[in-house]
Amino acid sequence: MIYKVLKNKAFTLIELLIVISIMMIVLIFSYSPYNMYQNKARLKLATREVAQSLYEARNMAVSGVQTKDDKGEFKNKSVGILLSSEDGKNENVYYYFYNHDLTYDSLVFPHFEAEKIKNIQDGVYIVGFSSGEKEFKNILLFYKSVKGEVKVIGFDDSGNKTEITSDTVKIKFSFKKSNLDFLKKEITYYLKTNIVDYK
pLDDT-derived band at 4, boundaries 50, 70, 90: low
Buried b / exposed e along 107-123 (16+ C-beta atoms within 10 A): beeeeeebbbeeebbeb
Phi, psi of 34 (to 5 degrees): -65, -45
The domain tally of the chain equals 1
% residues pLDDT > 90 (the chain): 47
Average pLDDT over residues 55-84: 84
Within-domain flag for 128: yes
pLDDT-derived band at 47, boundaries 50, 70, 90: very high
Mind spelling out the 3-state secondary structure of the chain? CHHHHHHHHCCCHHHHHHHHHHHHHHHHHHHHHHHHHHHHHHHHHHHHHHHHHHHHHHHHHHHCECCCCCCCCCECEEEEEEEECCCCCCCEEEEEEEECCCCHHHCCCCCCCCCEEEECCCCEEEEEEEECCEEECEEEEEECCCCCCEEEEEECCCCCEEEECCCEEEEEEEECCCCCHHHEEEEEEECCCCEEEEC
Within-domain flag for 15: no
Q: Is residue 198 over pLDDT 90? A: no
Check residue 8 and give its pLDDT. Answer: 62
* Alpha-carbon dihedral 52, 72, 95, 152, rounded to 10 degrees: 80
Average pLDDT over residues 98-116: 82
Average pLDDT over residues 104-118: 83
Within-domain flag for 151: yes
pTM over 0.85: no
Within-domain flag for 100: yes
Within-domain flag for 1: no
Q: Is residue 3 over pLDDT 60? A: no
Q: Is residue 1 over pLDDT 60? A: no
pLDDT-derived band at 142, boundaries 50, 70, 90: very high
pLDDT-derived band at 124, boundaries 50, 70, 90: very high
- DSSP bridge pairs for 131: 134
Higher pLDDT pick, 152 / 30? 152
Within-domain flag for 174: yes
Average pLDDT over residues 100-105: 80
What mean pLDDT is reported for the chain?
87
Within-domain flag for 190: yes
What is the span of the domain harbouring residue 169? 23-198
Closest CA to 48 of 115, 97, 78, 93: 93
Check residue 181 and give its pLDDT. Answer: 86
Within-domain flag for 112: yes
